[in-house]
Amino acid sequence: MAPAVIFDLDGTLVTWKFDIREWRKVLLELMGARGFVTDGLTVSTPTQDVLDSAKLQAGGQPGRYEAFRAKAYAELDSLELQGLSASTVFPDAVDTLRKLRSKGVRLCVLTNSGRRPASVSLAKSDLSSYFEFVLTRDDTERMKPRPDGLIKAVGMLGLPREAVFYVGDSTYDVMAARQAGVKSVGVSTSNYSMEQLSAAGADFVVPSISGILGILGI
Protein backbone atom coordinates (compact mmCIF):
# COMPACT_ATOMS: atom_id res chain seq x y z
CA MET A 1 0.00 0.00 0.00
CA ALA A 2 1.41 3.38 -1.02
CA PRO A 3 1.67 5.81 1.89
CA ALA A 4 0.23 9.31 1.91
CA VAL A 5 1.82 12.55 3.02
CA ILE A 6 -0.29 15.46 4.16
CA PHE A 7 1.52 18.80 4.17
CA ASP A 8 0.95 21.97 6.10
CA LEU A 9 1.27 25.00 3.82
CA ASP A 10 2.61 28.19 5.42
CA GLY A 11 6.08 27.77 6.89
CA THR A 12 6.32 24.25 5.44
CA LEU A 13 5.93 24.48 1.65
CA VAL A 14 6.11 28.27 1.36
CA THR A 15 7.65 30.97 3.52
CA TRP A 16 5.27 32.57 5.98
CA LYS A 17 5.14 36.31 6.66
CA PHE A 18 2.33 36.84 9.13
CA ASP A 19 2.12 38.44 12.59
CA ILE A 20 -0.01 35.95 14.49
CA ARG A 21 0.06 37.99 17.70
CA GLU A 22 -1.24 41.06 15.88
CA TRP A 23 -3.98 38.91 14.37
CA ARG A 24 -5.03 37.62 17.79
CA LYS A 25 -5.19 41.22 19.02
CA VAL A 26 -7.66 41.94 16.20
CA LEU A 27 -9.59 38.78 17.08
CA LEU A 28 -9.90 39.73 20.73
CA GLU A 29 -11.04 43.24 19.82
CA LEU A 30 -13.66 41.72 17.54
CA MET A 31 -14.82 39.44 20.34
CA GLY A 32 -15.22 42.39 22.70
CA ALA A 33 -17.10 44.41 20.09
CA ARG A 34 -19.53 41.51 19.66
CA GLY A 35 -20.23 41.26 23.38
CA PHE A 36 -18.06 38.26 24.22
CA VAL A 37 -15.98 38.23 27.40
CA THR A 38 -12.23 38.06 26.74
CA ASP A 39 -11.01 37.69 30.33
CA GLY A 40 -8.08 35.27 30.47
CA LEU A 41 -7.49 35.41 26.71
CA THR A 42 -4.32 37.04 25.38
CA VAL A 43 -2.38 37.36 22.12
CA SER A 44 -0.58 34.18 23.20
CA THR A 45 -3.80 32.15 23.39
CA PRO A 46 -4.12 29.75 20.44
CA THR A 47 -6.64 31.05 17.91
CA GLN A 48 -8.81 27.93 18.17
CA ASP A 49 -8.96 28.34 21.96
CA VAL A 50 -10.24 31.90 21.46
CA LEU A 51 -12.88 30.63 19.03
CA ASP A 52 -13.85 27.84 21.41
CA SER A 53 -14.38 30.43 24.15
CA ALA A 54 -16.70 32.43 21.90
CA LYS A 55 -18.63 29.30 20.96
CA LEU A 56 -19.08 28.33 24.60
CA GLN A 57 -20.28 31.83 25.48
CA ALA A 58 -22.70 31.87 22.55
CA GLY A 59 -24.39 28.87 24.13
CA GLY A 60 -27.92 28.40 22.89
CA GLN A 61 -28.03 31.53 20.74
CA PRO A 62 -28.39 30.14 17.20
CA GLY A 63 -26.08 31.78 14.71
CA ARG A 64 -24.24 34.07 17.12
CA TYR A 65 -21.01 32.10 17.10
CA GLU A 66 -21.26 31.31 13.38
CA ALA A 67 -21.65 35.02 12.56
CA PHE A 68 -18.66 35.89 14.74
CA ARG A 69 -16.49 33.19 13.22
CA ALA A 70 -17.44 34.23 9.68
CA LYS A 71 -16.42 37.83 10.45
CA ALA A 72 -13.19 36.66 12.09
CA TYR A 73 -12.32 34.44 9.14
CA ALA A 74 -12.99 37.28 6.69
CA GLU A 75 -10.61 39.54 8.62
CA LEU A 76 -8.00 36.77 8.72
CA ASP A 77 -8.37 36.11 4.99
CA SER A 78 -7.63 39.76 4.31
CA LEU A 79 -4.50 39.76 6.46
CA GLU A 80 -3.25 36.51 4.94
CA LEU A 81 -3.78 37.75 1.39
CA GLN A 82 -1.78 40.88 2.20
CA GLY A 83 1.17 38.75 3.29
CA LEU A 84 1.23 36.58 0.16
CA SER A 85 3.20 39.11 -1.88
CA ALA A 86 6.27 38.33 0.24
CA SER A 87 5.89 34.53 0.28
CA THR A 88 8.18 32.24 -1.72
CA VAL A 89 8.44 28.49 -2.23
CA PHE A 90 11.04 26.73 -0.12
CA PRO A 91 13.96 25.69 -2.38
CA ASP A 92 13.47 21.93 -2.02
CA ALA A 93 9.66 21.89 -2.11
CA VAL A 94 9.06 21.21 -5.81
CA ASP A 95 11.78 18.57 -6.10
CA THR A 96 10.51 16.79 -2.98
CA LEU A 97 6.92 16.75 -4.20
CA ARG A 98 7.99 15.52 -7.65
CA LYS A 99 10.01 12.65 -6.17
CA LEU A 100 7.19 11.63 -3.86
CA ARG A 101 4.68 11.60 -6.70
CA SER A 102 7.05 9.56 -8.88
CA LYS A 103 7.04 6.83 -6.22
CA GLY A 104 3.26 6.73 -6.02
CA VAL A 105 2.99 8.57 -2.70
CA ARG A 106 -0.37 10.30 -2.37
CA LEU A 107 -0.17 13.98 -1.47
CA CYS A 108 -2.59 16.51 -0.02
CA VAL A 109 -2.59 19.67 2.09
CA LEU A 110 -4.15 20.59 5.44
CA THR A 111 -3.67 24.21 6.48
CA ASN A 112 -5.08 26.65 9.01
CA SER A 113 -5.15 29.22 6.21
CA GLY A 114 -8.46 30.14 4.62
CA ARG A 115 -9.61 28.63 1.32
CA ARG A 116 -8.98 31.77 -0.74
CA PRO A 117 -5.49 32.58 0.67
CA ALA A 118 -4.45 28.92 0.34
CA SER A 119 -5.66 28.73 -3.26
CA VAL A 120 -3.84 31.94 -4.18
CA SER A 121 -0.66 30.79 -2.42
CA LEU A 122 -0.60 27.39 -4.13
CA ALA A 123 -1.32 28.89 -7.55
CA LYS A 124 1.32 31.58 -7.08
CA SER A 125 3.82 28.88 -6.12
CA ASP A 126 2.83 26.48 -8.95
CA LEU A 127 2.20 23.73 -6.40
CA SER A 128 -1.53 23.07 -6.89
CA SER A 129 -1.13 20.22 -9.37
CA TYR A 130 0.77 18.02 -6.92
CA PHE A 131 -2.13 17.52 -4.49
CA GLU A 132 -5.25 15.36 -4.58
CA PHE A 133 -7.07 17.85 -2.39
CA VAL A 134 -6.52 20.83 -0.11
CA LEU A 135 -8.32 21.27 3.21
CA THR A 136 -8.40 24.69 4.90
CA ARG A 137 -9.93 26.16 8.04
CA ASP A 138 -13.08 26.71 5.99
CA ASP A 139 -13.44 22.95 5.53
CA THR A 140 -13.22 21.84 9.16
CA GLU A 141 -15.11 22.57 12.35
CA ARG A 142 -11.93 23.35 14.30
CA MET A 143 -8.39 24.37 13.35
CA LYS A 144 -5.11 22.85 14.47
CA PRO A 145 -3.98 21.96 17.07
CA ARG A 146 -7.33 20.14 17.10
CA PRO A 147 -7.21 16.95 14.99
CA ASP A 148 -10.44 17.54 13.04
CA GLY A 149 -8.78 18.40 9.73
CA LEU A 150 -6.40 15.47 9.78
CA ILE A 151 -9.14 13.03 10.70
CA LYS A 152 -11.18 14.33 7.76
CA ALA A 153 -8.18 14.09 5.42
CA VAL A 154 -7.45 10.50 6.42
CA GLY A 155 -11.08 9.62 5.77
CA MET A 156 -10.91 11.20 2.32
CA LEU A 157 -7.74 9.28 1.54
CA GLY A 158 -9.34 6.01 2.63
CA LEU A 159 -6.11 4.78 4.19
CA PRO A 160 -5.29 3.37 7.62
CA ARG A 161 -3.81 6.05 9.87
CA GLU A 162 -0.51 4.22 10.17
CA ALA A 163 0.05 4.80 6.44
CA VAL A 164 -0.30 8.57 6.73
CA PHE A 165 2.37 11.16 7.59
CA TYR A 166 1.72 14.80 8.44
CA VAL A 167 4.52 17.27 7.71
CA GLY A 168 4.42 20.66 9.41
CA ASP A 169 6.59 23.38 10.88
CA SER A 170 4.86 24.03 14.22
CA THR A 171 4.13 22.32 17.50
CA TYR A 172 0.42 22.70 16.63
CA ASP A 173 1.02 20.42 13.63
CA VAL A 174 2.67 17.85 15.85
CA MET A 175 -0.13 18.02 18.41
CA ALA A 176 -2.82 17.61 15.75
CA ALA A 177 -1.03 14.63 14.22
CA ARG A 178 -0.63 12.90 17.57
CA GLN A 179 -4.32 13.35 18.40
CA ALA A 180 -5.34 12.12 14.94
CA GLY A 181 -3.14 9.04 15.22
CA VAL A 182 -0.94 9.75 12.20
CA LYS A 183 2.84 9.99 12.08
CA SER A 184 4.16 13.51 12.59
CA VAL A 185 7.17 15.00 10.80
CA GLY A 186 8.32 18.31 12.24
CA VAL A 187 10.35 20.59 9.95
CA SER A 188 12.34 23.45 11.49
CA THR A 189 11.74 25.87 8.62
CA SER A 190 9.81 28.54 10.49
CA ASN A 191 9.36 29.62 14.11
CA TYR A 192 10.09 26.33 15.88
CA SER A 193 13.42 24.64 16.43
CA MET A 194 14.10 20.95 16.00
CA GLU A 195 14.34 20.69 19.79
CA GLN A 196 10.90 22.28 20.27
CA LEU A 197 9.30 20.02 17.68
CA SER A 198 10.89 16.96 19.25
CA ALA A 199 9.73 18.03 22.73
CA ALA A 200 6.19 18.36 21.36
CA GLY A 201 6.31 14.66 20.48
CA ALA A 202 7.11 14.61 16.75
CA ASP A 203 7.84 11.10 15.45
CA PHE A 204 10.49 12.56 13.15
CA VAL A 205 12.24 15.93 13.07
CA VAL A 206 14.06 17.20 9.97
CA PRO A 207 15.56 20.53 8.86
CA SER A 208 13.45 20.73 5.68
CA ILE A 209 10.68 18.83 3.91
CA SER A 210 13.17 16.91 1.77
CA GLY A 211 13.77 14.88 4.94
CA ILE A 212 10.50 13.06 4.28
CA LEU A 213 12.23 11.28 1.39
CA GLY A 214 14.66 9.55 3.72
CA ILE A 215 11.90 8.74 6.20
CA LEU A 216 10.00 6.94 3.42
CA GLY A 217 13.15 5.32 2.03
CA ILE A 218 13.08 7.26 -1.24
Q: Where are the domains of the chain?
A: 4-16+87-215, 20-84
Report, at the CATH architecture level, how domain 4-16+87-215 is classified.
3-Layer(aba) Sandwich (3.40)
- pTM of the model as a whole: 0.95
Per-residue tens of pLDDT for the chain, all 218 residues = 679 999 999 999 999 888 888 899 999 999 999 999 999 999 999 999 999 999 999 998 879 999 999 999 999 999 999 888 889 999 999 999 999 999 999 999 999 999 999 999 999 999 999 999 999 999 999 999 999 999 999 999 999 999 999 999 999 999 999 999 999 999 999 989 999 999 999 999 999 999 999 999 99
List the strands of the sheet with 134-135, edge to edge. Answer: 134-135, 106-110, 4-7, 164-168, 183-187, 204-206
**3-class SS of residue 7:** strand
